[in-house]
Amino acid sequence: MQIFVDADACPVVKLVERVAKEQHIPVTLLCDTNHILNSDYSTVKVIGAGADAVDFALINLCSRGDVVVTQDYGVAAMVLVKGAYGIHQSGRWYTNENIDQLLMERHMAKKARRASSRNHLKGPKKRTEEDDQRFEKSFRELLKKAGGADDDQRTDY
């Protein structure tokens, strides 16, 4: 098992590294050329700045049983197809049971933004310590599951 992080603007990179280091799990951080990442633990892969370049590199690198941290639902859908596990920075697991609904919500929000200039969605709230605790708890549970569970037994967290 390996952990891959879609690390462009990801607020849980240090948390992921701390937990992975405790459990001796290798981590690869992927970012584009617009971001500078340094790590004493993880392998850092800087990918060209093309549209979705990091996403496609991540999908090409991950394999069955790996864990991927991403906030991109499209990436999450492809991760699931490869038999890997996906988790959002909020701690929500991406599963075969919830990914279609998440993709539909993303599509509808995009449609609403295009339809009206007044329909702007607010950005995310400022991250709290509770958000980090929730992510860490969920992340640890997902690592346990990925370390020994049958892929067909995945459920939503």
Provide the percentage of residues in the chain whose pLDDT is more than 70.
85
Distance of alpha carbon 45 from alpha carbon 31, whole angstroms: 6
Distance of alpha carbon 132 from alpha carbon 140, whole angstroms: 12
| Contact between residue 94 and residue 83 where contact means Cβ atoms under 8 Å apart | no
Higher pLDDT, 117 or 112: 112
| Contact between residue 17 and residue 41 where contact means Cβ atoms under 8 Å apart | yes
pLDDT of amino acid 117 = 61
Domain 3-149, what fold?
Answer: Rossmann fold (3.40.50)
- Point out the least confidently predicted range of 17-31, 43-57, 104-118: 104-118
Q: Tell me the β-bridge partners of 44.
A: 29
* pTM summary value: 0.84
pLDDT of amino acid 122 = 66
Q: Tell me the β-bridge partners of 6.
A: 30
Domain chopping of the chain, boundaries = 3-149
